[in-house]
Amino acid sequence: MTGTLDIERLGRRAEAMIEELAAISEEPDRLTRRFLTPEHKRAAHLVAQWMAEATMVTSEDALGTVRGHYAAQGETAGANAVPRLLVGSHIDTVINAGKYDGMLGVVAGILAIEHFRDAGRRFPFAVDVLAFGDEEGSRFPTVLSSSAALAGTFEPRWLDGTDRDGITLRQAMQDYGLDPGAVGTAAMARDEALAYVEIHIEQGPVLERANQPIGVVTSIAGQYRTRVTVGGMAGHAGTVPMPIRQDALLAAAEMALAAEAIAKARHEAAMVATVGQMTINPGAINVIPDRVAFVLDLRASSDAPRMEALVLFQKRAEAIAAARGCTVAFETYHDCPTAGCAPWLQDGLVQAATALGIDAPRLVSGAGHDGQSMARLTDFAMIFVRCKGGISHNPAEFSTSADMGAAVATLIRFIEGFDPARRPAG
Ligand code: HGY
Ligand code: MN
Ligand code: MN
């Protein structure tokens, strides 16, 4: 062990670094930092600077992920295929975001390496700290794309997805200074990745209700993102009688309510359904909408009920469209299965917390995380940090420096005790 840890100081450092990142936004009066924007690049440069100061060798991969490499004991400069423990999270945000979602995990990894730098501590394995740029999927119709690239599961068709301004991911990558043709170079060899560990705010109320600063995640709920496009008939708001309207918006609204009813009926599967984004055409006050597109975000704690629910929703939506003389089309562009956290890593995190006198409960994550991508490459686990009122994806998102310090300290103890040989065979 590298001596006692100053948890309060670690927490204050985390808070200060998070504040610096929070000042980098596309919008003056709220935090929004989408993938491959100039603000993403500024945040990436700041994170790379912190990594370098912590004596990590920094690089940027083909998807813009910033990677900080803390060399293993005796590792020669430029050595290839060095087995490494991966630690990280994302630095992109939703629209009008909180400061902690994603950023905490990157900052925590950097603070852990800073601690080892100060203690002159190296390990038989390297440690890579990762700052992913597209976890939220708030710009392109992709989700978790940068961690997918590292895991080797990036899909070339994603390059043709466009943002709200019609810019393709391919073009945005080129504008950012990346080569879309080089995406494959981001993939890490399976035998290089020993495990992936992520610190993240809980984004829910469980730890606050249990009065615990941190928890250990058992699994991450699977999720669909399905674009629903409803076609109707434009008409004059003043002259078309109600019974003969083909109003695409009202059909879409009824479909959203159907999704809500389906999710409420499957509460035993912790099912949740959300429509957070909707476009209405032509969008004129006095014109009956003729085309409405929305995205259904559908999640559950296991995959079977989630699949059943999507089929049921599509049936109900088709019936609603038919009854209103409208059409409906579906495109599921994100289908991420439930991902289980490796028990041996969970146990390592619980032991690390226990060594600090913290009794970390285990809990499920309803929110998605880069760990779902990384699960396709290696075993993964997560530490959750209590957040005020469980509020997230909201500027009111808040975690205390003491709780963040406890999470960073737990990560430090986990890395010190990490032994890849404990990974179960097979
Ligand atoms: O949507 C999610 O669960 C995550 O915040 N991307
Ligand atoms: Mn988020
Ligand atoms: Mn997140």
Spacing, Cα 325 to ligand 1 middle (Å): 35
Adjacent-strand bridge partners of 353: none
pLDDT in the model for residue 79: 79
In angstroms, rounded to a whole number, what is the distance separating the alpha carbons of residues 191 and 188? 8
Please list, in sequence order, all residues whose beta carbon lies within 8 angstroms of the beta carbon of residue 154, skipping any fewer than 6 positions away.
63, 145, 148, 183, 184, 186, 187
DSSP states along 38-96: HHHHHHHHHHHHHHHHTTPEEEE-TT--EEEEEPPTTPPTT-SS--EEEEEEE----TT
Give span(s): CATH 3.40.630.10, the chain.
7-220+338-422
Helix, coil or strand: residue 294 = strand
pLDDT in the model for residue 77: 81
In angstroms, rounded to a whole number, what is the distance separating the alpha carbons of residues 83 and 88? 16
What pLDDT, in 10s, does the model give residues 300-314? 999 999 999 999 999
Test site for ligand 1: of 91, 136, 272, 298, most ligand atoms within 8 A of the Cβ: 136
In angstroms, rounded to a whole number, what is the distance separating the alpha carbons of residues 331 and 204? 29
Q: Which CATH number fits domain 222-336: 3.30.70.360, 3.30.1330.10, 3.30.360.10, 3.40.190.10?
A: 3.30.70.360
Ligand nearest to the CA of 224: 1
Spacing, Cα 164 to ligand 1 middle (Å): 19
- For tokens 């309207």, name the residue: 245
In terms of Cβ atoms closer than 10 Å to its own Cβ (0-12, 13-18, 19+), residue 311 is exposed
What pLDDT, in 10s, does the model give residues 215-239? 999 999 999 999 999 999 999 999 9
Spacing, Cα 224 to ligand 1 middle (Å): 11
Give span(s): CATH 3.30.70.360, the chain.
222-336
Q: Give the confidence band of 78 by pLDDT, cuts at 50, 70, 90.
A: confident
CB-defined site of ligand 1, < 6 Å: 135-136, 367-368
Atom 2, ligand 1: which residue's CA is nearest? 368
Spacing, Cα 372 to ligand 1 middle (Å): 11
Global confidence as pTM: 0.94
Spacing, Cα 30 to ligand 1 middle (Å): 18
What pLDDT, in 10s, does the model give residues 130-183? 999 999 999 999 999 999 999 999 999 999 999 999 999 999 999 999 999 999
Ligand 1: which atom is nearest the Cα of residue 102? Answer: 5
Test site for ligand 1: of 203, 373, 391, most ligand atoms within 8 A of the Cβ: 203
Task: State which fold the 7-220+338-422 domain adopts.
Answer: Aminopeptidase (3.40.630)
Query: What DSSP state is assigned to residue 267?
Result: G
